Structure 1
Amino acid sequence: MQKSAEKSALPVTGHFVFLLLPNYSLLALSSAVEVLRAANRLSRAEIYSWQLLSSEGGLYASSGGLALPTDPIHETTPAITHLVICGGDGSENLTDPSTLSFVREEARKARLSGAISDGSYLAARAGIFDGYRSTIHWQCHDGYVEQNPELNITRQIYEIDRDRFSCAGGAAAFDLFLQLVERDYGRHLSLEIAENFVHSDIRPQVSPQRLNPAYKFAASSPKLSGIIQHMEQNLETPVSLPKLAEYVGITPRQMDRIFQQYVGESPSKFYIGLRVRRAAYLLRQTSLPISEISFACGFASSSHFARHFQKIWRMSPRQYRTL
Structure 2
Amino acid sequence: MDRGQDKPQEFVFLLMNNYSLLSFACAIEPLRLANWAAGQELYSWSLIAEGGETVHCSNGQETLVNGGLDEVGRDQTLLVCAGTDVKGATTKGILQYLRREARRGVVIGGLCTATWPMAKAGLLDGKRCTIHWDNRDSFVEEFPEADLSQALYTMDGNRLSCAGGSASADLMLRLISDRHGQELANRVADQMIYTTIRNDREEQRLSVPTRIGVRHPKLASVIHAMEENIEEPVSPARLAEDVGMSTRQLERLFRRYLNRSPKRYYMELRLQKAKNLLMQTDMTVINVALACGFTSPSHFSKCYRAHFSTTPYRERGTQGATG
Q: Normalising by structure 2, what TM-score? A: 0.88
* 3-state SS, counterpart of residue 118 of structure 1: coil
Partner of 1:268: 263
**2:97 counterpart of 1:102:** yes
Alignment partner for residue 198 of structure 1, among 193, 197, 206? 193
Give runs of aligned pairs for residues 42-191 of structure 1, distance below 5 A: 42-73=37-68, 78=73, 81-93=76-88, 96-109=91-104, 112-191=107-186
Alignment partner for residue 255 of structure 1, among 250, 254, 257? 250
Deviation at 1:312, TM superposition (A): 2.1
For the Cα contact (< 8 Å) 1:214–1:226, is it kept in 2?
A: no
For the Cα contact (< 8 Å) 2:152–2:200, is it kept in 1?
A: yes
Q: CA RMSD in A?
A: 2.5
- Give the length in aligned residue pairs: 316
Partner of 2:321: none
Cα distance in 2 between the residues matched to 1:126 and 1:281: 22
Cα distance in 1 between the residues matched to 2:140 and 2:218: 33
Partner of 1:236: 231
* 3-state SS, counterpart of residue 189 of structure 1: helix
Cα distance in 2 between the residues matched to 1:26 and 1:230: 34
Letter in 2 for 1:50: W
Deviation at 1:144, TM superposition (A): 2.4
Structure 1 residues 77 and 273 mapped into 2: Cα distance closer, same or farther (>3 Å)?
closer
* 3-state SS, counterpart of residue 71 of structure 1: coil
Cα distance in 2 between the residues matched to 1:227 and 1:130: 33
Deviation at 1:309, TM superposition (A): 1.6
Structure 1 residues 50 and 207 mapped into 2: Cα distance closer, same or farther (>3 Å)?
same
For the Cα contact (< 8 Å) 2:81–2:113, is it kept in 1?
A: yes
Q: Normalising by structure 1, what TM-score? A: 0.88
- For structure 1, the 5+ residue unaligned runs are 1-7
* 3-state SS, counterpart of residue 85 of structure 1: strand
Identity value in percent: 35
- Larger CA deviation: 156-165 vs 68-77: 68-77
For the Cα contact (< 8 Å) 1:217–1:224, is it kept in 2?
A: no
- Larger CA deviation: 157-166 vs 79-88: 79-88
Deviation at 1:178, TM superposition (A): 0.9
Deviation at 1:274, TM superposition (A): 1.2
Partner of 1:4: none
For the Cα contact (< 8 Å) 1:81–1:110, is it kept in 2?
A: no
Letter in 2 for 1:221: H
Deviation at 1:52, TM superposition (A): 0.5
Letter in 2 for 1:57: G
